[in-house]
Amino acid sequence: MSGHEDNPVGRLPPLPLILGIAFACVASVGLIWLVGRDSVAAMAYGGALLAILLTLLLMARLRALPEFVELAQPDWTVTAAAIENRRRAIAITDRANRLACANSSYEEWFDGARGPMELPFDAASRDQMIAAAREAWRDGAADIGMVSTEQGDRNFSLTVDRAGRGEDYLVWRFSEIVQQRSYDGLAERIAGSLGEVTSRAGIELALVAPDGIVQAGSPGLSERATGSRENSLAGMEFVQLLRTDDRDRIFFAREGQHGSPQTLIHVPLDQTGVPRTKDADEAPSLMMLIDSTVGIGGGRDNSGKAAIPQLEALLSALPLGLALTDRDGRFLFANKAFLRAVEREGHGLPQFPSDLVVREDKAAMADTVRRFAKGATSSGDMAVRLAGDKEEPVSIGLAGVRGLGDAAVLLSISDSTEEKRLRRQVAQATKMQAVGQLAGGVAHDFNNVLTAIIGYCDLMLLRHTPGDSDYDDIQQIKANSNRAASLTRQLLAFSRQQTLRPVVLQLPDVVSEVSQLLKRLMGDKIEFSVRHDRELGPVRADPQQLEQVIINLAVNARDAMQAHAAKTGKQDWKGRLMLATRRVSARDVRKMGIDIMPADDYTVLIIQDTGGGIPEENLNKIFEPFFTTKEQGKGTGLGLSTVYGIVKQSNGFIFADNVRGPDGAPSGARFTVYLPVHKGEMPIAVRQEEPEEQKASDWSAGGKLLLVEDEDTVRAVAERALVRAGYTVTTACDGEEGLAAIANGKTEFDLIVSDVVMPAMDGPAMVRAIRKVKPRLPILFMSGYAEEQLRNEIDIDNMHFIPKPFSVQQINAKVAEVLAEQRG
């Protein structure tokens, strides 16, 4: 357990020492008077000594006080005891990322007292931890779903909270994510009720470690191997329990050849979700000893066929997916776990194992089964793709068995349904993040092009009047440019890089604002209904963007219902769109078991239609940009991707699924939006009005501007627009050139207008260097990224923002507004 220890505090000097110091002071004063015969100087010298002595005594007295001790050095003993937790590693760091305190689990898991930032996590996890620390310092808390070590052998979930009297510490809580293994709990079952049942059927079980040591055995196996059912086989070598004769028949060593011969079946066990090549040396094996002479009703049958019913009963009770084939490769039996793993539950087995896999793997599967059936007894595995899931390969274990009549090959497979679901969720989240970054970058670059096009259109319109031959053409170019700008805004919304103005609001208020519009959009054939829960918690979001979410989902539902009606050929059809809000507590979230969504209180928006549902193959694609099932020319494929981006940027979650009808077929689609409940108080004013722009438009005093932009066309159009507005403009093509213009000192600039992303030196780096010599110089950033994102990442005082693309009028008005604000 780590923690700081108190330093020893000063104590009051002893009385003899005080008297000695006092006597020395009086003697020195007397000596001064005898030498100089000046009483005034002696008194001044004595007064100074007295002041010094009193100051020293006061300081010693203060250091003896408990309050002084507490301020001098914090005591982490109580904190270290309070954070003790065997299942969670907890560490506390200060603002310099130094480890202040940690519990024993932290030291044990991470081998020493190092700060969280120094732990051996992979690069992606380190980036997540740095972002989480920044978020915790800013917002008070942060949560990471999973961080992994560099070797990838351990995974942890991590939460970071800000704490302390001055909120100057971070509390890191690590919880290890333990993968489920197919053999977890199997030892207890073998030694308990399962072993009792199989022993009565003439089948003995043993769980054996890779080094051959028995970890658990059935009671019947203990009795036949040691003579007593009470003896534990744990720790004994499995091979010492058996012996063979000259015909390679297997007997219990204690019984010798007077006992009955046994059939040994070796079933390798793997960890669920871990590749077999990685776990083969660590996972135990299940050994099954089947009495070859025990028949139905206790009779003797040397053919081995009598053991098949008992073997099938045993395989049905095991949690691992197991199946048997004959020498020709035909299926004889499969338990429920096997059917569930190959997605054949309720449909039964096909004739051959090769019928379970895709066409490319059929020949390899058939040859492997035939080889294990007719060759020497051995075991192995192979990776195949199931016909029902062509994207995810699975590992099927094979083992040759003998002495069981027709049974020749034992197949094993782990039920990885849950693992596949989690893997799909992670893959979908990763793909959406990558597509979002790509979309944001494309939108940012495209905004530069649109800024130049719109700017030159505005400059040309200044030289033309309505009625000119070119005026309408220029207006058409500008209108199409603005349409393209709206598409880039949708891409920025998907990539969560648009500018939001969140406020605290009630979700039913937003629904009521758009209800009338939705009724007109739905038309006469679609019934529209709204239902609200009581005591809904407030949420923090941009009301206009929430309205966009509701409208996009409603229009998507309307189009789906119309397409479903056209597909089914119904002329007199009726649809129904249901919109509801619900209250979901943290307890409900935990019951749902959604791993990617933190357990918290949510206000939920549900939009459900009767449009026939979403095809299963499209469920993981509907939120991707430009993905659409509509005909060419009908829709851009950005509606649902915009919804996804707005919800995620509002710290919410959105899920899509199908609603089943009485016959089990999809009857409609349902979109569920989870928005976290705002814990603060509701403000009096729901939303502040935007500042009036009249003040900026009245500014006409001119000024000297430094324009820094790496795109030549954007720089040229902005320069011409500002010069026409009466400003004196100096241009620079990058941050270094802009910094040189300031360093020359020939011009005293009133404002810097700069792009954010530039080669060599970007805008924020340039501004930080300029502020060292010009601390009061205002800055106006131009960017296609979100203002909120830039302010969080840049954090520069007296910073203003104008989004790209902008028109000539907009940049002139923004510059005038900033200058008017600076000059009062």
How confident is the model over 709-753, as pLDDT tens digits? 988 888 998 998 899 888 999 999 988 999 998 888 778 899 999
For residues 785 and 493, the answer to whether their CB atoms sit within 8 Å is: no
Q: Does 805 sit behind a cis peptide bond, omega within 30 degrees of 0 on the bond before it? A: yes
Highest mean pLDDT among 180-184, 379-383, 631-635: 379-383
| Residue that wins the pLDDT comparison between 640 and 709 | 709
Is residue 276 pLDDT above 60, yes or no?
no
Is residue 403 pLDDT above 50, yes or no?
yes
For residues 763 and 708, the answer to whether their CB atoms sit within 8 Å is: yes
Taking the model in full, what pTM does it have?
A: 0.38
pLDDT score, position 691: 41
pLDDT tens-place string over residues 134-151: 999 888 899 888 888 887
Q: Which of 40-44, 120-124, 734-738 has the lowest mean pLDDT?
A: 40-44
Element housing 61 (H / E): helix 39-63
What do you get for the CA distance between the two ends of the chain, in Å? 58
Is residue 293 pLDDT above 60, yes or no?
no
pLDDT score, position 297: 39
Q: Give percent above pLDDT 70 in the chain.
A: 74
Q: Mean pLDDT throughout 583-604?
A: 86
Distances 226 to 56, 230, 251, 290 between C-alpha atoms, Å: 83, 9, 13, 18
Q: What is the mean pLDDT of the chain?
A: 78
Helix runs in 73-207, H state only: 77-82, 104-110, 123-139, 186-191, 193-200
Is residue 664 pLDDT above 60, yes or no?
yes
Helix axes 808-822, 417-461, angle to 10 degrees: 90
| Residue that wins the pLDDT comparison between 14 and 513 | 513
User: Please, which residues have CB within 8 angstroms of residue 258's CB and are 6 or more apart in sequence?
Assistant: none
Alpha carbon 794 to its chain centroid, in Å, reads 24
pLDDT tens-place string over residues 502-546: 788 999 998 888 888 888 888 888 888 999 998 899 998 888 788
Highest mean pLDDT among 246-255, 433-442, 550-559: 550-559
Q: What is the largest CA-CA distance in the chain?
A: 131
Is residue 673 pLDDT above 90, yes or no?
yes
Highest mean pLDDT among 284-298, 423-437, 501-515: 501-515
Element housing 385 (H / E): strand 379-386
For residues 327 and 373, the answer to whether their CB atoms sit within 8 Å is: yes
Nearest to 609 by CA among 659, 679, 543: 659
Is residue 406 pLDDT above 90, yes or no?
no
Highest mean pLDDT among 170-174, 417-421, 637-641, 786-790: 170-174
Cα 64 from Cα 347, distance rounded (Å): 82
DSSP assignment string, 213-235: BEEEE-HHHHHHHHS-TTS--TT
pLDDT score, position 580: 93
Is residue 570 pLDDT above 50, yes or no?
yes
pLDDT band of 464, cuts 50, 70, 90? confident
pLDDT score, position 696: 42
Is residue 612 pLDDT above 90, yes or no?
no
The count of residues in the chain is: 824
Owner of token pair 């135990």 = 284
Owner of token pair 């689609």 = 669
For residues 766 and 708, the answer to whether their CB atoms sit within 8 Å is: yes
Cα 489 from Cα 428, distance rounded (Å): 23
Angle at 671 between CA 666 and CA 672, to 5 degrees: 125
Q: Which of 431-435, 557-561, 597-601, 728-732 has the lowest mean pLDDT?
A: 431-435
pLDDT score, position 539: 92
Q: Which of 579-588, 640-649, 769-778 has the lowest mean pLDDT?
A: 640-649
